[in-house]
Structure 1
Amino acid sequence: MVNKFKQHLTSSFPFLEGKKILIAISGGVDSVVLTHLLYKLNYNITLAHCNFQLRENESDLDEQFIIKLGDKFNIDTFTIKFSTREYQNKNKLSTQLAARELRYNWFFKLLEEQKIDYVATAHHSNDNLETFLINLTRGTGLEGLTGIPPINGKIIRPLLKFSREEILNYATLKNIEWREDISNTETKYIRNKIRHNVIPVLKEINPNLINSFNNTSTFLQEGQQIIDDTIKQKSLEIISYDGEIIKFNIKKIKEFTNPKAYLYHLFKKYGFTEWNDVFNLIYTQTGKVLTTKSHTLLKDRDFLLLLPSDKFINTENQLVRINSNDSKVSYPINLLFKNVQKTTSLDKNTIYVDKNSLNYPLTLRKWNDGDFFYPKGMLGKKKVSKYFKDEKLSLIEKQNIWILCSGKNEIIWILGKRQDRRFLPSDKTINMLQISIYKPL
């Protein structure tokens, strides 16, 4: 197995040469064999063991076993104890998800602190098959059937092409000691049910099941790569950017052979799962919104607009008061107030007003239905909503606009857009005020 493993590393993980590797070691046969193999091949390895304190004395014995193994090989070994139950209850997670979050957060912390390049886990072909079957029973897209990736950023899985049987045979042949986790024999977990009840039946049907699955997994991964390349190419045709807003051209999406399938691949990474709702969004009225924990997607005329949800917050009732002696506002937008003798700047982020025409305190707020102003350079008054419509502003753009008002709630300036002419300085102006949007250093 050593030569086969060495060839596998050379062909699939050539970048590991000369790198520092953190082995996530539980004490079970898989991670212990991975440690033996990498040690035998002279890789620069460090051990990291998590004691989740879920199996009373057995958990402590696992930890002691790992410490002795590290001493035997004279390699650095890190261990940590987690209050897993407490973390699980606090974050309302399953035991497995809680343990996963705890261990990977710690692994990545170790990578940074110890200047280590990669985390190596001991997942193998049987784990991969179990994950495939779990995803299949729950329902998934193609990416859920491609299995566990051998490389995922800083996480590597060098044993993924090897079966549990190969690993166990090697450990037995070399008289390698390991720790058995009795919980692996219990069938209360889905993975264990599949491991002990389903896979043995499949092996009766096909004794060469693992090899067949490895071939199928390779084909599925290659198919997924074709899809990813296609989505990347199509994205260039339909996506444009406006700051943090990603704009998707609806007309071009409708021209795709299967728009719903494309929408799935375009938006799955943003947490959207109700694909009928996403598909129907391209046919609904402007202003319709869908949200996930991380992102907001809305229909705006000919586009779907996507942005982080924390940038799409209803601040309609937020109000900031500005007194006559204030020279600066730092929240929610940066404004400078400066007494000047003449106008010097003509850009859209600066206005000049007759200070004597203002009623303090000024207010900075979002726009409301019914707002109107007297636009500079125009006759008469105009509703702010009509002005936004004429400017073809999207719902997101309208939401992000701030309005500066005089004490009588009269609009002075739609920031960055248009000034109200009622407050313009004239030949008779004695006190002129410059108001500017600025970027902090």
Structure 2
Amino acid sequence: MTELTPQNVLKILHDKCGFKTNEAILVAVSGGADSMALLHLLTNRRINICAAHCNFNLRGKESDGDQLLVENYCKENNIELHCKSFNIIEYARDHKLSIEMAARELRYEWFNQLMEQEQLEALVTGHHGNDSIETFFLNLVRGTGVKGLSGIQYKNGKVLRPLLDFSSQQIEEYCNIHQIPFRYDSSNSDVKYLRNKIRHEVIPVLEQMNPSFFSTMLNNMEHIHEAELLLEEVVEQFREEVLVDEHDKVLIPISKLNLYAQKKTILFEVIRPYGFNASVTDDVVQHLDGLSGKQFFSETHRLIKDRHNLLIMPREEVATDHFWLEEKQIQSPVKVEAKIYPKPSDFSFSKDPNLIHLDADLVDLPLLFRKWQEGDRFMPLGMTQFKKVSDFFIDSKFSIVDKEQTWLAISGEDIIWIAGHRIDDRFKITNRTKFVLEVKLG
């Protein structure tokens, strides 16, 4: 086990965290043993540092005691300190977050503001090896990909964590040896929180089974992280060579996904950024050979299993499924304009699928624009028999998304136009037409 010394911490900062000596840094200090030890380890090491403390007011006098300890220590050691008080309960309620997630959001938002304000290059936190091991088991219980099993990383953007090689026991011993004051957070003993349950009930059993459990787990997570990097290369290659990004949606060809023996793992890594978890990934893979139309949802996106592709697109909170159009222009939900004029002697048919001409005397205004419904039928231009709109979609190779996004123009009870594709033969311009109804989409 690596000895906890300023020299070793500085070496980790440089070698594993990518820290440059001339960078000014912000140290997050809670008042606990890990952050107080970190502050001591970095003080007077020819590093330009300042400290930041968050008071979440969750433990009454205990929270105020934490802040007072940090303030006194920084004053005695000439360390610049920034403190901020938060109403965490109100924020969590307003944003429908757990207390833990609300605290994390507020903490890092403020840290980022401070770093920009004070022109600091990095944020250094006191996360240690035990934190990383607990995170491993948290993710294992909740379900995760390879990334979640590699523990906490030394560097994540501008956040640096140079204490990951050390245990909580080493850190407390360092504080005691150097007479560094620190506070115990009483909430860390409450096993109603999953992390605390893992810390106090699960890990002690594993330590009994393996006295070298801490070192073993650090090695395990290092190996998993290396496997994660290999997987990232494969996934990135898959994204570049297979995925099709069509602005508002992402398309994954099922035939190409099926070429990979590890398709479930690759698919999970591809769809994870869109909020889909491992359980949804399992369901998607099970339906790859099933019928089209199956949909899967995350909080922000939906995934549709089409005939040949998986389609990922943002969820729409409110969808308009119909609107009316008189002889005028509208802008929403789509831009459509209509006008009527006498048929000119030199009239010529439009070749633009989004611009149509119909016999105005055969059409009842206003036009209803709506989405496709089961049982819809029309008489496609050039035909003398009715055809189901669903069959027209199939023949035209419409995807599920194409069907959802296509508007039908309705006169009375008749479909006169599948917008952007085909008009109904009964409403076409003929030699008998006197007035032209022109409708333009987009």
Q: TM-score range by the shorter chain?
A: 0.7 to 0.9
Shift in CA distance, 199/301, structure 1 to aligned 2, threshold 3 Å: closer
Counterpart check, 1:182 vs 2:186: yes
- When the two structures are superposed, what TM-score results if normalisation uses the length of structure 2? 0.83
Shift of 1:7: 1.6
- Secondary structure of the 1:63 match is helix
Residues 352-402 of structure 1: CA distance to partner in whole angstroms, max 9, x if unpaired?
344454322222211222323333455544322111111111111101111
Q: Which residue of 2 aligns with 1:279?
A: 285
Give the AA of the match of 1:329: I
- When the two structures are superposed, what TM-score results if normalisation uses the length of structure 1? 0.83
Counterpart check, 1:127 vs 2:141: no
- Secondary structure of the 1:147 match is coil
Q: Which residue of 2 aligns with 1:161?
A: 165
- Secondary structure of the 2:409 match is strand
Counterpart check, 1:331 vs 2:332: yes
Counterpart check, 1:361 vs 2:370: no
Q: Which residue of 1 aligns with 2:53?
A: 49
Counterpart check, 1:321 vs 2:318: no
1:26 maps to which of 27, 30, 46: 30
1:191 maps to which of 181, 190, 195: 195
**Farther-moved stretch of structure 1 (106-115 vs 21-30):** 106-115
**Farther-moved stretch of structure 1 (348-357 vs 426-435):** 426-435
Contact 1:263–1:278 under 8 Å retained in 2: no
- Secondary structure of the 2:439 match is strand
2:303 maps to which of 287, 297, 300: 297
Q: CA RMSD in A?
A: 3.4
**Farther-moved stretch of structure 1 (280-289 vs 226-235):** 226-235
Shift of 1:248: 2.5
Point out where structure 1 has 5 or more consecutive residues left out of the alignment: none
Give the AA of the match of 1:309: R
Q: Distance in 1 between matches of 2:224 and 2:172?
A: 28
Q: Which residue of 2 aligns with 1:308?
A: 314
Q: Distance in 2 between matches of 1:350 and 1:104?
A: 52
Shift of 1:276: 4.2
Shift of 1:140: 4.6
Q: Which residue of 1 aligns with 2:417?
A: 413
Contact 1:67–1:77 under 8 Å retained in 2: no
Give the AA of the match of 1:391: S
Shift in CA distance, 130/358, structure 1 to aligned 2, threshold 3 Å: same
1:230 maps to which of 231, 234, 242: 234
Contact 1:70–1:77 under 8 Å retained in 2: no
Give the AA of the match of 2:305: K
- Secondary structure of the 1:167 match is helix
Shift in CA distance, 244/139, structure 1 to aligned 2, threshold 3 Å: closer
Shift in CA distance, 363/38, structure 1 to aligned 2, threshold 3 Å: farther
Q: Which residue of 1 aligns with 2:398?
A: 393
Q: Distance in 2 between matches of 1:233 and 1:371?
A: 43
Give the AA of the match of 1:298: I
**Farther-moved stretch of structure 1 (2-11 vs 236-245):** 236-245
Q: Distance in 2 between matches of 1:384 and 1:222?
A: 53
**Farther-moved stretch of structure 1 (377-386 vs 288-297):** 377-386
Q: Which residue of 1 aligns with 2:258?
A: 254
Shift in CA distance, 167/319, structure 1 to aligned 2, threshold 3 Å: same
2:377 maps to which of 372, 375, 382: 372
Give % identity.
Answer: 35
Contact 2:354–2:420 under 8 Å retained in 1: yes
Q: Distance in 2 between matches of 1:422 and 1:17?
A: 79
Counterparts of 1:78-157 in structure 2 under 5 Å?
Answer: 78-84=83-89, 86-88=90-92, 94-108=98-112, 117-137=121-141, 140-157=144-161
Q: Distance in 1 between matches of 2:434 and 2:78?
A: 84
Contact 2:50–2:79 under 8 Å retained in 1: no
Q: Which residue of 1 aligns with 2:249?
A: 245
Q: Distance in 1 between matches of 2:284 and 2:226?
A: 27
Aligned residue pairs: how many?
Answer: 431
**Farther-moved stretch of structure 1 (119-128 vs 180-189):** 180-189
Shift of 1:77: 0.6
